[in-house]
Amino acid sequence: MKKSLLALLLPLLFFMSCTSMPEKISESDTLLLIPIDFERDHKGSIFGYYSAVIEDADGNPVTIAKLTPSKDFQYVSGLTPGKYTITAMYFTYTQGGKNGSYNEENIPFELSPGKLSVLQQYMKYEFFKENPLDNTYYMRGQFVPMNGFVKEKISNIASEDEVMQTWDIEYLYK
């Protein structure tokens, strides 16, 4: 059932994912920031991305966040204040748009009105070789706990970004 709902939500992915930071219009607005990090000194090429399925407190899928490895963050706007969970991730190949691996997740978070909420975990992309004698690189992504480097990067951007300064920043930790 969830996979069929996921298939119905795929077209919304392109319409609901924000590429630049939305401005805060009212005090009830929410904004979720999902940090993204990837190895910039890899020899492999970026050939896809992961998407995260976000469900509300009742278990209904509400949006899909496209986590592109060439960005530092993904913003998710339009969610009402409340409790949510990232319940799954799936990989999509850039060429051909085929879906690859599907991983179940359990990353709960709560959005507060008027806040830019930074997810307590970030998406880390890695490139690796399965065989050191082979020149084939593979790409994988996984959510890992927030570290000081990522938090510092967010603080540096916030100090320079006028739109980001209009939001109250809240770090979501378990």
pLDDT of 129 strictly over 70? yes
pLDDT of residue 43: 60
Q: What are the phi and psi torsion angles at 44 (to 5°)?
A: -85, 170
Dig out the tokens for 44 from the structure.
């492999």
Reported as a single tens digit per residue, the pLDDT across 71-104 is 888 999 999 999 999 999 998 888 776 777 788 8
Task: Supply the DSSP string of 71-139, one letter for each residue.
Answer: SSEEEEE-PPSEEEEEEEEEEEETTT--EEEEEEEEEEEEE-TTEEEEPSEEEEEEEE-SSTTS---EE
Reported as a single tens digit per residue, the pLDDT across 44-73 is 567 788 999 999 999 999 999 999 888 888
